[in-house]
C-alpha cells in the first residue's frame, strides 16, 4: 500500500448538527534519494516513497489524519513531529524521540493518528536529532473555510523558505559540538532555497488577490522577506489569524509561519514581472565566506514575455531593512491579554565551556544532560506514586 493515499468520509455530530469530517490516510516510506536543490551540490536526502521534495499536506479543520510512517532507512531511526499542533489528548503523537515516543527503527513503522482542531499554516519534520536538515520536512496546511472567507481572496499559494547545507545532519552536529569549535558557532549554510529549489518562477494572474502561506523550515538562520515594489497584508502568524496589517517586509525565524494577502496589478499597470526577495539575517552568522550569497531572488511571473526586474540596490544594505514588528499584530479573535502574573520566573541564558572544549547552553546555570533512561521509559517504569 506504499504510495497510496486513501480517502474515506466519516460522519459525526458537532454541537447537535450534522457535520462532515474527512479522514485522510497516508502511507509514507522514508527512503534515501539524491537531490540537488541549490543547483550546486548533489546530496543524499530523505524522501517519501522515493520522491523529494516532500508533499504539502492539506486538510480541513476538524478532519482526522492517519499517517503511516514506514522507516525504509537501513542505517537510522526516524520520527515525525507536526510543528505547531497542540495534539490535545494525544500527546503521544507529538513525535519527540525519547519524550513522547520511541524511535522508529529501520523496517518498523508508526501510525500518527490525530484530529486537527486548529487552523492555519504549519509544517511537519523529523524529530530525530537534526535529521530534518536532510530534507525530511514539508508544509502542513489546515484550512478553515469560515476564517478564510473573512479575507476575501481569490487564490492561495504555499511557499517554504530554508537555509541549505551540503553536509549531512550527523556531520553538522559533530562540527558544532566539538572542541575545535570553542565558541559553539553554528554551521554556515551553503545557500538559501525557496520551495526546495532556487531561481523559482511562479505564474500569477493579473488583478488577483492571493493568500500566500510562508514557512521558514530551515535549521539555523532567520530570514527577511519582501516583494519589492509591492505592499502586502499580514493576516496570520503561527496558526493565529490576525487583523490585516500592511507591510513591505517581514522577518521569519526558523519554524515561524506567516500568511499574507498580496493583490496583483491590472494588466494595464504592469510592465515587468515581480521579485520575491529573501535574505539571511547576517548577524546570526559568525563568519561569512566570500562565496556565500546572503540574498535569494525568485520570481512571480505575470507573463514570460515581460522582463524580469532588476533587484533594487537596497537589498545589499541589510542595515536599512525595516521588517514589520510582529508585536503590532492583533488576533482576529480579539482574545484579551492575560492579567498580570502572580509570580514571575526569570531565565538567564548563557553559553559556557565545561572543560571538554564544547560550548553548552545554560538556563540559570543548568545545562541539558541527556538522561540515561529516556523520559518516556522513565514514565512507563516509574512507581505509580511518582507518575
Q: What is the pLDDT of residues 152-166, one digit of tens each?
A: 999 999 999 999 999
Tell me: pLDDT of 1 over 80.
no
Residue 164's H or E segment, with its range, is strand 155-164
Nearest C-alpha neighbor of 152 from the set 214, 211, 212, 234: 211
Nearest C-alpha neighbor of 140 from the set 80, 221, 224: 80
Degrees to nearest 5, angle at CA 76 with 74 and 77: 115
DSSP string, 267-331: GGG-SS-EEEEEEE-GGG-S---TT---EEEEEEES-TTSPPPPPPGGGG-GGG-----GGG--B
CB distance 213 to 139 below 8 Å = yes
Entry pTM: 0.91
Which pLDDT score is estimated for 340? 96
Mean pLDDT of the chain: 92
Residue 277 CA to residue 44 CA, distance in Å, equals 28
Residue 215 CA to residue 123 CA, distance in Å, equals 8
Q: What is the pLDDT of residues 264-321, one digit of tens each?
A: 999 999 999 999 999 999 999 999 999 999 999 999 999 999 999 999 999 999 999 9
In the chain, pLDDT over 90 holds for what percent of residues?
Answer: 82
Residue 120's H or E segment, with its range, is strand 120-125
Sequence-distant (6+) residues with CB within 8 A of 290 are none
Residue 308 CA to residue 376 CA, distance in Å, equals 54
The span from the first CA to the last CA of the chain, in angstroms, equals 39
Give how far Cα 263 sits from Cα of 156, 208, 249, 267, 358, Å. Answer: 12, 6, 15, 12, 50
Tell whether omega for the bond before 292 is within 30 degrees of 0, i.e. cis: no
Burial-class residue 326 by CB neighbours within 10 Å (0-12, 13-18, 19+): middle
Grid coordinates in use for 337? 491579554
Nearest C-alpha neighbor of 190 from the set 225, 218, 160: 218
Grid coordinates in use for 24? 485522510
Q: What is the maximum alpha-carbon separation in the chain?
A: 74
Mapped onto helix, strand or coil, the DSSP state of residue 376 is helix
Quick one: CA dihedral 141, 143, 144, 148, positive or negative?
positive
Tell me: pLDDT of 84 over 80.
yes
pLDDT band at 374 (very low <50, low <70, confident <90, very high): confident
Which pLDDT score is estimated for 8? 38
Residue 242 CA to residue 236 CA, distance in Å, equals 5
3-state helix, strand, coil in the chain (%, to 5): 10, 40, 50
Tell me: pLDDT of 19 over 70.
no
Which pLDDT score is estimated for 253? 98
Tell me: pLDDT of 3 over 80.
no
Which pLDDT score is estimated for 387? 66
Amino acid at each position: 500500500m506504499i504510495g497510496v493515499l486513501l480517502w474515506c468520509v466519516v460522519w459525526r455530530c458537532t454541537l447537535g448538527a450534522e457535520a462532515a469530517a474527512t479522514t485522510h490516510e497516508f502511507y509514507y516510506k522514508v527512503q534515501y534519494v539524491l537531490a540537488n536543490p541549490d543547483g550546486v551540490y548533489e546530496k543524499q536526502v530523505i524522501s517519501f516513497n522515493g520522491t523529494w521534495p516532500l508533499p504539502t499536506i492539506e486538510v480541513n479543520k476538524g478532519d482526522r489524519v492517519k499517517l503511516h510512517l514506514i522507516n525504509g532507512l537501513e542505517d537510522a531511526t526516524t520520527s515525525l513531529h507536526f510543528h505547531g499542533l497542540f495534539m490535545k489528548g494525544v500527546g503521544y503523537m507529538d513525535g519527540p524521540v525519547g519524550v513522547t515516543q520511541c524511535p522508529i527503527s529501520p523496517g518498523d513503522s508508526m501510525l500518527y493518528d490525530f484530529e486537527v482542531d486548529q487552523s492555519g499554516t504549519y509544517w511537519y519534520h523529523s524529530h530525530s536529532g537534526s535529521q530534518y536538515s536532510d530534507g525530511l520536512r514539508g508544509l502542513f496546511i489546515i484550512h478553515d473555510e469560515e476564517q478564510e472567507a473573512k479575507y476575501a481572496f481569490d487564490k492561495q499559494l504555499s511557499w517554504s523558505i530554508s537555509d541549505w547545507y551540503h553536509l549531512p545532519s550527523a556531520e553538522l552536529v559533530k562540527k558544532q559540538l566539538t572542541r575545535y569549535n570553542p565558541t559553539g558557532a553554528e554551521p554556515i549554510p551553503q545557500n538559501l532555497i525557496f520551495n526546495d529549489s532556487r531561481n523559482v518562477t511562479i505564474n500569477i494572474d493579473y488583478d488577483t488577490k492571493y493568500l500566500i502561506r510562508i514557512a521558514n523550515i530551515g535549521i539555523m538562520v532567520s530570514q527577511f522577506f519582501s516583494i519589492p515594489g509591492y505592499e502586502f497584508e499580514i493576516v496570520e502568524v503561527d496558526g493565529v489569524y490576525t487583523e490585516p496589517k500592511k507591510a513591505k517586509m517581514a522577518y521569519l525565524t526558523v519554524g515561524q509561519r506567516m500568511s499574507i494577502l498580496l493583490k496583483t496589478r491590472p494588466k494595464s499597470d504592469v510592465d515587468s514581472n515581480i521579485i520575491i526577495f529573501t535574505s539571511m539575517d547576517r548577524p546570526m552568522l559568525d563568519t561569512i565566506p566570500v562565496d556565500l550569497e546572503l540574498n535569494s531572488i525568485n520570481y512571480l511571473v505575470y507573463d514570460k514575455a515581460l522582463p524580469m526586474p532588476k533587484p533594487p540596490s537596497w537589498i545589499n544594505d541589510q542595515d536599512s531593512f525595516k521588517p514589520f514588528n510582529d508585536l503590532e499584530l492583533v488576533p482576529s479573535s480579539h482574545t484579551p491579554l492575560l492579567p498580570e502574573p502572580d509570580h514571575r520566573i526569570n531565565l538567564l541564558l548563557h553559553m559556557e565551556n565545561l572543560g571538554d572544549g564544547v560550548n553548552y547552553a545554560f538556563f540559570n546555570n543548568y545545562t541539558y544532560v541527556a538522561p540515561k533512561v529516556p523520559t518516556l521509559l522513565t514514565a512507563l517504569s516509574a512507581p505509580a506514586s511518582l507518575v
